[in-house]
Amino acid sequence: MKIADIRATTVTVPLEAPLRHANGCHWGRFVRTIVEVETDTGLVGLGEMGGGGESAEAVFRALKSTLVGCDPARIEEMRFRIANPSASLYNNRTQVLAALEFACLDILGQAWGVPVSEILGGRLRDRVRFAAYCFFRYPNPKDRSGEVRTIDQLVSHARDLRERFGFRTYKLKGGVFPPGYELAAYRALAEALPEDTFRFDPNAVWSTEQAIRFGRAIEDLPNDYLEDPVYGLAGMRRTREKIRVPLATNTVVVNFEQLAANVRDTGVDVVLLDTTFWGGIRQCVKAAGVCETFQLGIGVHSSGELGIQLATMLHLGAVIPGLSFAADAHYHHLKDDIIEGGRMSCTDGSIRVPTGPGLGVRLDRRKLAEYSELYRELGDYPYDRDPLRPGWAALVPNDRWADPDDASVPDVR
């Protein structure tokens, strides 16, 4: 079996409402690149990558001269062909490799008649638990629905997610408003849902002193962990020395060099594995083995997925013995998906691991065409800009917070 063609299509899929974060905003939709790898036997494997547009599609087109004719089973060979670590200063293709790895594993599963989880060691669980991913959100500009700005709105949003999906753990994405306001919001969540657990992530925009202040102020709550309160392993180590809450990261331990540094001089208790940022599902399984050896906690990170990437997260979550925490997913903010059957369903706070051959998801061609057309109409949005603060950029550490009393509605599509 040989790779015969590689195709990439950019899509944009609407969210319930724009999601605010420390560096800007998801302006009411995600932009993703859907990758199809076709073999000479007629199988099509699916991959997905964040962002898109002509430049992303061109990257995949350009790799055809390297990969057409290769055996999709030789995934380790492909890693060195297109993402050799010693060439990464010139060719940083980690996320591209990840999308192609997903597609090759999907092909192999289809060819062998087994789900990807069986190729990775076999599933240990049939469902993967997820956390509610609570963002501060601007209102949807079309109908003004979905705003999460006040503490009351946050609490009722979390209650609604618990009702709809059965979540029992909640992640609050902070770093948007002044830390004192976000502390009050986080404490109000914990008070409103006394049987559940919580995690907070300000995307590394605080000073170490601010991180310590916040960490100490939440020590009495049922925290899973405090995620990336500061930027850099040195700041994480200083914070960790002074608080009694586990620290997690998806930012400063995203490769094996950094994982080794963290083992030698620990600043992070829980490593959040992202199938895209680490360069594929298999790299995450390897990293999980290292974490297990050194008794570090493991989580599954979300970088804003549609159904294909969600399937990679489910297969990963299914095969890691020491998955200590509910996984993260932006998925419940989406209004639609590009896979057959529409969005995967989440019940009792968990999603079923696909059991069909390969990744177990198939492209809905009509949806792909619809959201690729929508992308052509709307184009990209700047992830690191806030639509209502045009001249603004966050500092690290930041002191340029948004105003929680400002109820403006952004004019975005």
Give the catalytic positions in this structure. 173, 301
- Nearer of residues 36 and 201 to Mg ion, judged by Cβ: 201
- How many Cβ atoms are within 10 Å of 99's Cβ, its own excluded? 32
What is the footprint of Mg ion within residues 212-231 (CB under 5 A)? 227
Question: Does 201 interact with Mg ion (rule: CB under 5 A)?
Answer: yes
Q: E strands within 202-319?
A: 223-227, 247-249, 270-273, 297-300
Strand order in the sheet with 29-39: 3-14, 29-39, 44-50
Decide if 167 contacts 197 (C-beta within 8 A).
no
- The footprint of Mg ion on residues 263-292 (CB under 5 A) is none
Of 301, 312, 316, nearest in space to 201 by CA: 301
Q: What's the count of helices (H) and strands (E) in the chain, helices before strands?
A: 12, 15
CA gap 102, 45 in Å, rounded: 8
Least distance to Mg ion, CB of residue 7, Å: 31
Please tell me whether residue 250 binds Mg ion under the rule CB under 5 A. yes
Number of residues that bind Mg ion (CB under 5 A): 3
**Least CB distance to Mg ion at residue 300 (A):** 12
From the list 282, 274, 324, 276, the residue with the least C-alpha distance to 300 is 274
Q: Find the shortest distance in angstroms from Cβ 59 to Mg ion.
A: 25
Nearer to Mg ion by Cβ, of 60 and 325: the residue is 325
Distance CA 376, CA 388 (A): 24
Name the one range near Mg ion by CB under 5 A: 74-82, 199-207, 237-245, 311-319: 199-207
Nearer to Mg ion, 106 or 228 (CB): 228
CB nearer to Mg ion: give 250 or 309: 250
- CB of 249: closest distance to Mg ion in angstroms? 7
Which of 185-193, 244-252, 335-343, 400-408 is the region at the interface with Mg ion (rule: CB under 5 A)?
Answer: 244-252
94 binds Mg ion (CB under 5 A): no
Pairing verdict, β 270-273 and 247-249: parallel
* Subset of 353-392 contacting Mg ion (CB under 5 A): none
Residues 102-161 that bind Mg ion (CB under 5 A): none
CA 325 remoteness from chain centre: 15
* Contact criterion met (CB below 8 Å) for 334 and 343: yes
Residue 290: Cβ within 10 Å count: 16
- Is the link from the previous residue into 397 a cis peptide, with omega within 30 of 0? yes
- The residue range among 103-111, 137-145, 193-201, 218-226 that interacts with Mg ion, by the rule CB under 5 A, is 193-201
Residue 184: both structure tokens together: 């009050």
DSSP letter at 162? H
User: Which part of the chain contacts Mg ion (CB under 5 A), choosing from 32-40, 197-205, 260-268, 399-407?
Assistant: 197-205
CB of 26 to Mg ion, least distance (A): 14
Tell me the window of 56-64, 133-141, 248-256, 275-283 that interacts with Mg ion (CB under 5 A). Answer: 248-256
Decide whether 23 or 250 has the Cβ nearer to Mg ion. Answer: 250
Which amino acid, 171? K
For Mg ion, which is the closer residue by CB, 196 or 227?
A: 227
User: Measured from the CB of residue 97, what is the shortest distance to Mg ion in angstroms?
Assistant: 22
Binding residues for Mg ion (CB under 5 A):
201, 227, 250
